[in-house]
Amino acid sequence: MISHRGEFVHPLCNALTVRLSGTMPKPWARMQETTVFIYRIVLSQTEWQKASEARHAAGDLWTRLVKIHRFCRRRHWHWPTETQLKAHFKRRIPLHSQTVQALIEKFCATIDGVRTKRQNGDKHARYPWRFRRYFNPIFKGQALKIQGAHLFLPLGRGRDPIRVRLPEAIPTGRMVLAELGYGEIYLTITREMPDPITIPSDKAGGLDIGVIHLGMISDGKEALAVSGRGLRSVKQGRAKALAELQKKRRRTKPGSRRRKRLNRAQHRVSQKVERVTRNALHHAANQIVAFCLAYGITLLYVGDLGTLNHKKRHRRSRRTNQDVGALEFGRWETYLAYKLKRYGIRLVKISEAYTSQTCPHCGHLNKVAGRTYRCRACHYQAHRDGVGAVNILNKGMHGAIRPGELLVPPRITYRRPVPLKRTLRRSPAEPREIAGGINGGKSGGSLPGSHDPRRNHGGFPRISAL
Ligand SMILES: [Zn+2]
């Protein structure tokens, strides 16, 4: 799926890579967890052919849905309902009937989502408009068949199913959905969750989510900052690499071998960055959870980013906007929420208004520039994101920020989400440095992966793209 910024974003990864059915339908029912697992697949030439055709047919269907919807909308007609669309496309698409239905359902869900967003005042929300040559066909669980090490994706009566070799270790649970991507398969698996392990304490923590630091968490005594710089540079690198490829691509003829090779290269870059991002966000979330467990936090206040993405858009610089969008905070939050839920830690969203500006010491409002917070009234100095974290905690506990109650801990541990890998490191011989807190504190400790947050370890993944 192409996002409104024209980036390649997989539709499932972007929104629901991990989701929880939050409400328990029956009191005796256990909590269920639905996870999407992504595997790279290798297909033989014939299977690849079939997969390609199925993805093409799905793209065709999607394009026709977009056209129908656009046609009706421009004329102010009633939009066809899901039932009408299903009846219309029945037996007209060379795909399994349930695949066709699933795609129509997905299209209708997208439209409903956009409509709700627009009604809520987000004028930038756009109805599906792009014509798709390929689209990922969706296979519903009832139609999926597993035989030995193979998964069979049905293509409807009279057509051979696509045979995909499954990876050796597949998580236990019920396979409810499979989606066929470009050399990848997305398996949605539901499983029952054990009851969350609850910690007998009622300690609270504050979490500030940002770009430089994906998360700064504090309980008022200790603080942990999970760096986001590496991730940001990967994302920026992707934009650069894709732009370069696009430039080369423009000079090629459609259908030419060179064009095809460049298309594949584009996919490779996107998919690689997607994997790196997903991995980093999972690890970052794990570190936040580990901090909560280590210090017995059972209630975590987090600044609500819901308002940040749309309404404040015009107030931010273009660069900041790119950061905010590109890092996909929604996804990061989703990962956090489900991982915390496993340990019975409650995540409470509170408005983050003024939490970054208010002085935790005297309550004065300061404009913040740079990475250090400096109060003009009382000359208090602290790490900027640390101020955000303790203020969120303060606000969460007291309803408003009470000055002087909670100060930024002198000791801040800095960590990368994942220790740098060769692909991300500028030079392999670069020594790891140990950071110090800004408030004069000497710390960071000798934790593995500790580093100086101010050092720019930029560069982008070296992906040889022709
Ligand atoms: Zn102050």
Sheet holding 18-21, edge to edge: 18-21, 32-40, 184-192, 174-180, 138-140
Domains held by the chain: number: 2
Q: Say if residue 144 is in the same domain as residue 255.
A: no
> Residue 420's pLDDT is what?
59
Q: Say if residue 272 is in the same domain as residue 380.
A: yes
Token pair 């656009």: residue: 70
- Banded model confidence at residue 70, pLDDT cuts 50, 70, 90: very high
The strand pairing partners of 152, in sequence order, are 145, 163
Residue 466 lies in a domain: no
> Residue 453's pLDDT is what?
37
- CA 163 to ligand 1 center in whole angstroms: 65
- CA 387 to ligand 1 center in whole angstroms: 11
- CA 383 to ligand 1 center in whole angstroms: 13
Between 43-47, 55-59, 188-192, 222-226, the lowest mean confidence (pLDDT) is in: 188-192
Q: Say if residue 154 is in the same domain as residue 247.
A: no
Residue 424 lies in a domain: no
Q: Say if residue 226 is in the same domain as residue 314.
A: yes
Q: Say if residue 16 is in the same domain as residue 100.
A: yes
Residue 134 lies in a domain: yes
Residue 125 has pLDDT above 60, yes or no: yes
The proportion of the chain whose per-residue pLDDT surpasses 90, expressed as a percent, equals 45
Query: What letter represents residue 290's amino acid?
Result: A
Residue 359 has pLDDT above 90, yes or no: yes
pLDDT by residue (tens digit) across 405-427? 899 999 899 988 877 554 444 44
| Structural domain for 135, as ranges | 11-192
Q: Say if residue 181 is in the same domain as residue 235.
A: no
The token pair that represents 81 in the structure block: 């309902």
Q: Say if residue 142 is in the same domain as residue 216.
A: no
Residue 227 has pLDDT above 60, yes or no: yes
Residue 116 lies in a domain: yes
pLDDT by residue (tens digit) across 265-308? 988 888 888 888 888 899 999 999 999 999 999 999 998 765 55
Residue 388 has pLDDT above 60, yes or no: yes
Q: Say if residue 183 is in the same domain as residue 278.
A: no
CA distance 267 to 55: 15
Q: Say if residue 168 is in the same domain as residue 218.
A: no
Q: Say if residue 82 is in the same domain as residue 188.
A: yes
- CA 368 to ligand 1 center in whole angstroms: 12
Residue 143 has pLDDT above 70, yes or no: yes
Residue 423 lies in a domain: no
Q: Say if residue 69 is in the same domain as residue 128.
A: yes
Q: How many residues in total does the chain contain?
A: 466
Of the three residues 192, 211, 226, the one that is the final residue of a domain is 192
Residue 460 lies in a domain: no
Of the three residues 145, 163, 192, the one that is the final residue of a domain is 192
Of the three residues 169, 192, 215, the one that is the final residue of a domain is 192
Residue 461 lies in a domain: no
Q: Say if residue 212 is in the same domain as residue 158.
A: no
- CA 6 to ligand 1 center in whole angstroms: 43
Residue 162 lies in a domain: yes
- CA 371 to ligand 1 center in whole angstroms: 16
- CA 405 to ligand 1 center in whole angstroms: 12
- CA 374 to ligand 1 center in whole angstroms: 8
141 secondary structure, DSSP code:
G
- CA 361 to ligand 1 center in whole angstroms: 5
